[in-house]
C-alpha cells in the first residue's frame, strides 16, 4: 500500500466556484496569533456542496437520509477511473460507459472523467451530465458509488434532477466536483470520507486515489 496518491479535491478558497446563488466559502478570523492572541481561531461558512463532495439522499428526496447515515465502506476501496470524453452539455449514456469500459472489470466504485468543467474557479453551467438510465446500468453491475468531475450529475438548470433521483433509488452514492484531469485511467483505491454531519444534505470530502 505505498502507491502514488492523486489528490482529487480542488483547493478550498473564496475563489472556488459554487452553483450560482449558493454560498461560497468564507473564513472569519475570531482570534489571531500575529495580532497577539494566544491562538488563531477561525469559523468557516459555505455550502455543504463545496468542492469535492458527496450528496446525501436527503439532498433531492423527501425522507432521504442525511450524509451521516451513508455507510463508510462506500467511500473506501477499489475504484475505476474511466475517461468518458464529452461535449459541453453532453449526456453520458450507459452505452458510452460500456464502450469506454470495453469489458474491463468494474469494481464497486466508478469515477467518470468528462473534462467538461475544467476550472474549479470558473463556473461553467454547460457541463456534461449523466443519463438517468445509468443508475440501473451501474447498480446492475454492483457499482455503489459514482463520481464525476462536474458540479452535478444532472444539468445545471434541471429542476427535476432525474439522475440524482435514479441514483438514490438504486442506492448508488454520488460524488461530485472531483478533479480528474491528468490522472491515468485504471483501477485505484478510493479514499473519500465525508464528515459526520448529522442530517446534512452533503459533505465536502478530501478525495484521493491511491495507485496499486
Ligand atoms: Zn448533486
User: pLDDT tens digits, residue range 113-144?
Assistant: 999 999 999 999 999 999 999 999 999 999 99
* pLDDT of 20 higher than 60: yes
Active-site annotation holds for 59: yes
Q: Can you give the pTM of this predicted structure? A: 0.96
CA of 192 to the centre of ligand 1 (A): 16
The residue from 49, 53, 59, 164 that is catalytic is 59
CA of 6 to the centre of ligand 1 (A): 23
CA of 164 to the centre of ligand 1 (A): 7
CA of 108 to the centre of ligand 1 (A): 19
Q: Which three cell numbers stand for residue 60?
A: 433531492
* pLDDT of 155 higher than 90: yes
* pLDDT tens, position by position, 49-80: 999 999 999 999 999 999 999 999 999 999 99
Predicted pLDDT at 1: 52
Amino acid at each position: 500500500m505505498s502507491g502514488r496518491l492523486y489528490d482529487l479535491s480542488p483547493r478550498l478558497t473564496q475563489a472556488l466556484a459554487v452553483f450560482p446563488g449558493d454560498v461560497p466559502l468564507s473564513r472569519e478570523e475570531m482570534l489571531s496569533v500575529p495580532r497577539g492572541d494566544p491562538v488563531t481561531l477561525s469559523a468557516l461558512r459555505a455550502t455543504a456542496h463545496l468542492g469535492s463532495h458527496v450528496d446525501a439522499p436527503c439532498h433531492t428526496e423527501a425522507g432521504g437520509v442525511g450524509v451521516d447515515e451513508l455507510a463508510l465502506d462506500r467511500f473506501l476501496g477499489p475504484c475505476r477511473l474511466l475517461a468518458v470524453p464529452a461535449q459541453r452539455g453532453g449526456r453520458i449514456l450507459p452505452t458510452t460507459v460500456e464502450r469506454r469500459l470495453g469489458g474491463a472489470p468494474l469494481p464497486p466504485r466508478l469515477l467518470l472523467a468528462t473534462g467538461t468543467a475544467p476550472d474549479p474557479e470558473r463556473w461553467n453551467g454547460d457541463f456534461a451530465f449523466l443519463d438517468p438510465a445509468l443508475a440501473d446500468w451501474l447498480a446492475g453491475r454492483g457499482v455503489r458509488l459514482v463520481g464525476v468531475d462536474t458540479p452535478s450529475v444532472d444539468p445545471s438548470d434541471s429542476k427535476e434532477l432525474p439522475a440524482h433521483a435514479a441514483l438514490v433509488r438504486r442506492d448508488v452514492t454520488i460524488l461530485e466536483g472531483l478533479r480528474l484531469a491528468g490522472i491515468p485511467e485504471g483501477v485505484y483505491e478510493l479514499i473519500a470520507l465525508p464528515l459526520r454531519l448529522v442530517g446534512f444534505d452533503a459533505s465536502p470530502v478530501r478525495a484521493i486515489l491511491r495507485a496499486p
